[in-house]
Chain A
C-alpha cells in the first residue's frame, strides 16, 4: 500500500492506494501550523479510520512547501560560501541587471543574498576551461574552512570557477570540511550541478546549502516518526519536476524539492487526464497557475528562479503564474481602462461579498453578481456571500464612474481577468509551438471551473476536464508519480568534431549514478527507465534546446536523430532553423526513473453510484450579454454519464462549474467533469 499526503491551505489530504486489492482510501484533517505534525496526524487518522495495518504501507509520499518558505522568509540555515579568489560578490551581483518589471522604478530592491558577504570567502586557486592554472594550497583550504567554522555556520557551499569540468579543488575542500566538521552540511557545486555559468551554478548550490539543514531535520524527523508507527515503507519526497526522490537523496539535494507544492498539482492533472496534450489550469484566491503537459509529463524548465530572484538550474515544472484569482481587485485607471489585479483583497478582508469589510470589487464579487456563484453554497455552505455588498462595490468603484450598470462592470472584470489568463495559457502553448485546439484544459482550484469555458472559447480548446476535491486530487497525483533522478554534466563540443568515446564515458558515468540512486531505492533493473537528452544550440548562440538522445549508446544514428530533432524544434519554437549551420552540444542530461505501479480506478473508485439527477431549480445567470434562466445542479447528486446541457451551473463543495449555452458537461467514473462544445 502506498500513501500520499498533500498539505493545503485549509485541509491536509491523505490518499492510500492498495495495489493488491486495487482499492483507494481517502481522509482529511485540518492543516496544522507544524507541517510535520500535520502529516503524522493525517497518517494516524487514515490508519485508524480505514483500519489499515501500518505494516502494509510500503511508501509514504509527501510534497512540501517548507523549503521554499524558508527561502522566502529568510529562515534557512546560516550558510557559508567558498569561492575562487575574485568572485565572492558574484552571488550578490548576479547578472548585474534590474528586474525586467521594474525598469522605470527608482525604488526597486534586490533581494538579500542568502549568504551574507562576511560569510563568503575566497581561496587562491584557478582553473580554466582547458585545465588547472593554479593549484589549491591545502593549508589555505583548511584556513578558510576554519574561518567559516569559527563563525558557526551550519552549512557550507563551495563553488569554484570551471568546476563543472575540473571538480578536484571543490572535492578537496569538501573533504576538508568533512574532516574538520563532520556534522556540517557541505555542498560542492560540481556535485549539485556540474553545469557552466558560475552565477547560476553558485546560486543553485547556495540554495541547496541554505535549506539543507532544514530539509535534513524535517525529513529525518518525519522518517523516524513513520518508522515508530511500524510503517516499513520508505518516505519519498515530491520534486519540483513532478517526480519522487528517496529521503536520503532528498536530504543531500533538497534544492530539487523547492517547487514541490505546485508540481504536485500539475502532476495530478498529468495523471488524471490521459490525453496527449493537457493544459493544467489552477486558479485560486490570489493567483492562477498554468502548465503544459504532454504525454502525461509536465513541461520542464531549467531556468526557474525562487522568489523570482534566485536562479536554480534544476528541473522544475514550467509554470506560468499570474496575479489573477478570486480576490483580484478590479479598478479603473486614470486613462479610463478597466484593470484587474495584480492587487488582491486576499483572504482578509477578502472580496466585498465576504462581508468582512472589503469594499473593493473582486473577481469573486463579479461572479456572484453575474449569478454564477451561489450565495448560500460557498465552500459547501460554510460561508454565505452578500450580493448587496458585491453590487455596492461594483457600483462605487466602477459602474458609477463609467456610467454603466453593476452587471456590465462585473462582466467587464471577468473579461479582463480572462484576457490576462488567456495570455498566460498562450505562453505555455502557442509560444511553444503547441496548438490549443489540440489540447484539453484541465481546470481546478477554487475558481478554475468557473472561468474554464470562457478561456476555452477564446482559445478554441475543444474539451475541459474538471476534478472535484482538488486537495485529494494533488495527493492522487503523487500516487501516480515515478521516482526520478535528474543528472546533468556540461560537455561543450561541436556535434561534428565530437569525441564520441569521451561522450560515451560521460553518459555511462551519469547513467551509472542514476542507476545507483534507483537501486538504493529498491528498484530492480527492469523497473528502471533511463533517458538521455542533450542540450544543443547553433554554434554562437547561447540558449539551448533540450532534445532526446534516442539510444543509451551514442551511435552515429542516434546523434543524427537528435540533430534533426533540434532543427525541427528550433523551427517550431522560433519560426526558423538552418540545418546547414554547425550545432554544438552544451549539456548532457540523464534522467533515471523508477517505475511505480499506477493506481487504477476501475474498481473501488471513490465515486458512489446510484445518484439521482435532479436540478435544484433554476437561477438567472449572465451569459453572452444577458441573464438566462439556468439549471442548477449539485455534483453529489449527479449520476455518472448523464449529460448536463448548458446553460447550467454545477455546484460542488470546493468549486463551481459554469456551463454556458452551447456547452455540455458529463460526470465520468473518475469523479471528473468532462465538458465539450456542441
Chain B
C-alpha cells in the first residue's frame, strides 16, 4: 500500500470528501493534544484551573490552519497575531528550534498577561508551518499584581511589553530575554513554569505536524492544508447566504472608563451581503485616557465569536482562515477599538464583551430566533496581591479570578444562573485550593436572588462572591462593567440587575468601590463582589405561574418580586407548602398589563 492509498487520497484537483474529514481531524488532533499538555502542566491558576489558554497551527504564510481554544474569546485572537510576527520575522528569519515570544497589544497581542509563543516547523530544510500557543499568566509586571490595572492611563503601566522577540534561538534559551522577563514580573518561578509548559506544547505541535508529513506525504498535507481552509470558507458562505441581506445597526455602552469619564459608546453596522459580512464600527467613541480600550484584536475577537455563534452554533466549521475570510472589519483608528500607542489596553476583556453585545443587538433584527437577551457581559476580573504572611520568608503572591453571572434568557428558555458568558469560559478556583495557596478566605459564593432580568423566559441570576484578606495588607484591583447600565432584555423582557463591588473593613462601614480601579486593603477587609444577572425575554406577565412558583420555592425569586413583577400571587397552605393563587394572580396580571399599556399610551 502506498502512502496516498492510506487515506484514499489521490493528488488531483478532485477534492476527496473523505480525505477532507480525515485531514481536518488530523490537524485538529495536533492542536488539541498541545492544549491538553499546556493546561495540565501549566503553573498559573489561569492556565491550570481555569484553562485560559489556546493552541494553534498556521501555514508558512501565517494563515491559521487549526485551533484548539478552551476559551471562546480566543477564537479571533490569532489571525492578527501572525501577521505582525511575520512582519518582524519574515520567512527567512526563522531557524529550527526558534521560539518567538510576544504579548504587546500593539504587536498583535491581546493584553499584557496573555503571552504568545510561536515556533516554526521545518521539513526537509523548508519552513512549512508554525506552532503557536497563548496562555494567560498570573502576572506579567506593571503597576498592580495580575497586570490588569483597571485605572491605568498608559500601556506602560500595565506590565512588561514584549514585541516579537526570540526567547529561543536554534533551540537555545536567549538568556537576555529571560532575564528581562524575570526581573520585571512578580513571581518569576511561576513564569518559568508556565513558559516551560508553553514551550513544551509548541514542541508537541512541531512534532505532531511532522508526523503528519511523514504519514501522509508532504504533497497531500500541503494540498489539504489549503483544502480544509477552502472547505471552511464554503461552509461559512453557505450559512451567510441563508441570512437576509441588508444593513443592521446597533449601539451599546460600557459604564465608564475608570478614570471618571462618561459611558463609552460602541456602534456597529452589520452589513450582510450575498456571501460575506462587513462589520463596521464607525461611530464608536474615541479612545479614552484609561485602560478601557482594546487593541484591534478585541474587535476581531468579539466579532468572530458572535458570528460563529450565529452561523455555526454546533461547531461544524473548522475555525481556520477560511472562516475569517468571509468577514471584513472596519475599525476606525483612534477609537477605543483601535487606539494609538501609548493608550492603555487592559480593558480588552470587558470591551470584547460589549462588542459581542452590540453585534448581537444588531443581529436580533436578522435572526431573532437565534439571539438571547444580554448576558451579564462582564468578566468581573478580580485580582489580589501582596506578601503572604504565612511564609517564613516574604513571598509575593498574586491571585486572579473572574466571576460568572447571569446568562441572557433565550427565545425558547430561561438563561442559566451563575455561569461564564460569551467570550469567557474559565473555571473558578476551588475555595479550598485558594485558601491553601493564598492568604485569603472565601466567605460567600452563591446566587443573588432577584437579580434576573424578568421575562416570560427569565435571565440567569448573578453571583455574589465575598473574599476576606487575612492577616496582611493586600492590593486589590477590579476590572468589571455593567455596574451602571444593566444587561438588556428582549421582546418585552426586563433588564437584569447591575453588578457592584463593596469593601467591608474589619472595623468600618461598607464602602462601594468603582468597577474599575485599584486600592490597598487593610488586614481583615472583606470584598463583596456582585455580578449582574442576564436580561429577560418576553413579558414577565406571560411567564408560566408554575415556573415562578418553582423559583420562589428554590429561593431564587422573592415572594414580593413574584407578585410585583411577574403578577403571580403565591400563598402558603397550613402545611407550609406554597401554591399559586390562580384567580388572584390572573386578576393582578390583567391589572398590571393594563397599567403597563396605559403607561405606554401616556408616553
Contact = CB atoms under 8 A, between A and B. Distances in A.
Interface in B418-446: 418-420, 425-428, 430-433, 435-436, 441-446
A135 B70 CA distance: 41
Contact of A98 (B6, B312, B419): B419
B238 A625 contact: no
A305 interface: no
B8 interface: yes
Contact of A90 (B232, B312, B445): B445
A531 interface: no
A402 interface: yes
B371 interface: yes
A337 B312 contact: no
Contacts of A574: 37, 40-41, 197, 200
Interface string A301-343: 0000000000000000000000000000000111111110000
Contacts of A109: 413, 416
Interface string A509-523: 000000000000000
Contacts of B317: 335
A196 B5 CA distance: 51
B410 interface: yes
Contacts of B441: 128
A162 interface: yes
A426 B25 CA distance: 12
Contacts of A162: 432, 435
A73 interface: no
A49 interface: no
B18 A415 contact: yes
B420 A161 contact: no
Contacts of A376: none
B154 interface: no
Contacts of B553: 118
A95 B427 contact: yes
B102 to A, nearest CB: 22
A543 B41 contact: yes
Would you call the interface of chain A mostly helix, strand, loop, or mixed? loop
Given A86-B443, A87-B431, A106-B370, A333 B316 contact: yes
A412 B18 contact: yes
B330 interface: no
B466 interface: yes
A416 interface: yes
A88 B430 CA distance: 14
Given A334-B239, A574-B37, A574-B200, A415 B430 contact: no
A204 B426 CA distance: 22
Contact of A337 (B24, B204, B370, B556): B24
B238 A106 contact: no
Nearest to B371: A106
Contact of B428 (A86, A96, A117, A543): A96
B228 to A, nearest CB: 9
A97 B239 CA distance: 28
Interface stretch (B91-99, B117-125, B188-196, B262-270): B188-196
Contacts of B145: none
Nearest to B39: A543
Nearest to A545: B40
A612 interface: no
Contacts of A492: 436
Contacts of B417: 92-93
Interface string B35-48: 01100111101001
Contact of A196 (B403, B433, B556): B433
A415 B19 CA distance: 9
A579 interface: no
B226 to A, nearest CB: 14
B260 interface: no
A86 B526 CA distance: 14
B315 interface: yes
Contacts of B418: 89, 92-93, 96
Nearest to B322: A335
Contacts of B1: 624
A202 B164 CA distance: 45
A110 B447 CA distance: 15
A540 B520 CA distance: 26
B72 interface: yes
A110 B436 contact: no
Given A96-B420, A416-B22, A542-B433, A106 B410 contact: yes
A159 to B, nearest CB: 11
A230 interface: no
A85 B431 CA distance: 13
Contacts of B17: 332, 336-338, 402, 412
Given A338-B17, A543-B40, A333 B200 contact: no
A578 B193 CA distance: 10
Contacts of A543: 40-41, 48
A334 B234 contact: yes
A73 B314 CA distance: 25
Nearest to A116: B554
A89 B446 contact: yes
A103 B22 contact: no
A214 to B, nearest CB: 24
Contact of B446 (A87, A334, A411, A578): A87
A575 B37 contact: yes
Nearest to B17: A338
A402 B442 CA distance: 59
Given A86-B446, A93-B418, A101 B315 contact: yes
Interface in A100-128: 100-101, 103-110, 116-118, 128
A197 interface: yes
B463 A128 contact: no
A301 to B, nearest CB: 13
Nearest to B433: A197
A335 to B, nearest CB: 4
B369 to A, nearest CB: 10
Given A104-B313, A542-B49, A431 B41 contact: no
A251 interface: no
Interface string A486-522: 0000001000000000000000000000000000000
Contacts of A97: 51, 419-420, 425-427
Counting chain A CB atoms within 10 Å of each CB, which of B48, B190, B308 scores highest?
Answer: B48
Contact of B231 (A92, A95, A337, A578): A337
A117 B555 contact: yes
Contacts of A107: 313, 410, 412-413
Contacts of A334: 234-235, 238-239
B320 to A, nearest CB: 12
Contacts of B428: 93, 95-96
A423 interface: yes
A411 B17 CA distance: 12
Contact of B21 (A93, A100, A101, A338): A338
A383 B403 CA distance: 56
B562 to A, nearest CB: 15
B191 to A, nearest CB: 11
B555 A118 contact: yes
A335 B8 contact: no
B588 interface: no
B174 interface: no
A415 B69 CA distance: 27
Nearest to A418: B22
Counting chain B CB atoms within 10 Å of each CB, which of A90, A105, A116, A333 scores highest?
Answer: A333
Given A89-B445, A336-B231, 14 more contacts: A95-B427, A96-B418, A96-B426, A98-B419, A98-B425, A106-B309, A106-B370, A117-B554, A337-B24, A412-B18, A492-B436, A540-B43, A542-B49, A581-B193
5 contacts: A86-B442, A86-B444, A197-B432, A198-B432, A573-B40
Interface of A: 85-90, 92-93, 95-98, 100-101, 103-110, 116-118, 128-129, 161-162, 164, 196-200, 332-339, 402, 411-412, 415-416, 419-420, 423, 426, 431, 458, 492, 538, 540-543, 570, 573-576, 578, 581, 624-625
